[in-house]
């Protein structure tokens, strides 16, 4: 670190241009280039590499946070076998999705292919679970860079083995509570339905929701107090009536337990910030509304135990914005773990 100059040009091929190896880092980011079950726009599998390549041009100072550039973060190596499998299965999934959209059903041969895709997705989840578990057991903290929103399920499972209970703060346009959407057990649209099966997950708080179906509405009623939803439209109307964003965020944070996992789907933002995300929806949070929400998790005395950034589009602009969200998540996690200093909290 004595040779590291945060004012110099960031090193290409290293997250945020940092000099850390995986062995040296405290926080490990696992890239998962996977968008097999993408049901609308594909391409998010390219995001981990794009974010890595764009992140080195960020300047690394944040108001009120000191020593942020000294927090040791590293990205784990890209698993080329996972990437290769994703490309193969994505091609098969596209054919099945097209058939379902045309006829609403699959024949026997197509159902066999669907089963093969589900097996491949299960292997991806197990890969992330194993990788994350290995890092967690040696005292490191872990984040996932997707890929579609199915990619962090393995990390949530791994955290469930390390913590008795924790909550999930999900920033998203969608509830993602469908049961095996389009017949895919590990669909991006089913991530939170699957995450809630992890017994350690005791609370799910969603922010920015503006696209959901009847099946999900029914499940929400069944979950009762375990699930808190903050619809984007309702949040906006409250602002129009004079309730400012800090007031609304305070209520959101109040519903979270002491330990929090943050799941950040980029389509939770205004689409101008993520135009090529997999399933863009009008509305959403501004960049600094999202940043204030993330910071307020720490401000509210919660400990961030992990996170993911998912559904980043495959363009430089999408990756640029995602890199900045990722950097804020890393910094706030560092503050919550006592590794960085934020005097005004």
Domains and CATH numbers, the chain: 15-336 (3.40.800.10)
pTM: 0.94
Q: Residue 277: which of 146, 155, 186, 177 has the closest Cα?
A: 146
Q: What is the CA radius of gyration of the chain?
A: 19
Neighbours of 116 (CB within 10 A): 13
Main-chain phi, psi angles of 341, to 5 degrees: -120, 130
Per-residue pLDDT of the chain (345 residues; tens, 9 = 90+): 456 777 777 778 899 999 899 999 999 999 999 999 988 878 899 999 999 999 998 888 888 776 655 679 999 999 999 999 999 999 999 999 899 988 999 999 999 999 999 999 999 999 999 999 999 999 999 999 999 999 999 999 999 999 999 999 999 999 999 998 888 899 999 999 999 999 999 999 999 999 999 999 888 888 877 899 999 999 999 999 999 999 999 999 999 999 999 999 999 999 999 999 999 999 999 999 999 999 999 999 999 999 999 999 999 999 999 999 999 999 999 888 877 666 565
Give the tokens for residue 334: 């560092």
Residues 6+ apart with CB under 8 A from 311: 44, 47, 146, 148, 149, 188, 265, 266, 267, 274, 277, 278, 279
């Amino acid at each position: 670190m004595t040779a590291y100059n945060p004012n110099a040009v960031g090193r290409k091929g290293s997250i945020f241009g940092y000099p850390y190896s995986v062995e040296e880092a405290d926080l490990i980011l696992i890239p998962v280039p996977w968008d097999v079950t993408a049901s609308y726009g594909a391409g998010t599998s390219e995001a981990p590499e794009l974010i890595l390549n764009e992140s080195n041009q960020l300047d690394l100072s944040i108001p009120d946070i000191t020593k942020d550039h000294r927090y040791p973060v590293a990205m784990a190596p890209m698993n080329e076998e996972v990437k290769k499998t994703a490309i193969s299965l994505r091609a098969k999934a596209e054919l099945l999705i097209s058939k379902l959209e045309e006829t609403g059903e699959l024949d026997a041969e197509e159902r066999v292919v669907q089963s093969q895709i589900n097996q491949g997705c299960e292997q991806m989840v197990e890969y992330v679970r194993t990788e994350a578990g290995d890092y967690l057991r040696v005292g490191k903290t872990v984040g996932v860079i997707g890929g579609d929103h199915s990619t962090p399920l393995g990390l949530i499972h791994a955290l469930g083995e390390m913590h008795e209970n924790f909550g999930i703060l999900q920033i998203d346009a969608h509830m993602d509570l469908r049961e095996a959407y389009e017949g895919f057990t590990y669909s991006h649209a089913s991530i939170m339905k699957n995450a809630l099966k992890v017994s350690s997950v005791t609370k799910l708080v969603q922010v920015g929701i503006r696209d959901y179906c009847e099946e999900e509405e029914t499940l929400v009623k069944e979950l009762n107090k375990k699930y808190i939803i903050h619809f984007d439209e309702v949040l906006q109307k409250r602002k129009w009536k004079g309730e400012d964003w800090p007031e609304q965020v305070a209520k959101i944070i109040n519903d979270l337990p002491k330990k929090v996992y943050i799941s950040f789907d980029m389509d939770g933002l205004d689409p101008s910030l993520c135009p090529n995300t997999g399933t863009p929806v009008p509305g959403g949070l501004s960049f600094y509304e999202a940043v204030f929400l993330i910071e307020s998790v720490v401000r509210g005395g919660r400990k961030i135990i992990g996170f993911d950034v998912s559904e980043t589009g495959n363009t430089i602009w999408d990756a640029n914005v995602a890199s900045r969200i990722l950097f804020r998540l890393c910094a706030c996690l560092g503050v919550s773990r006592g590794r960085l200093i934020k005097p005004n909290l």
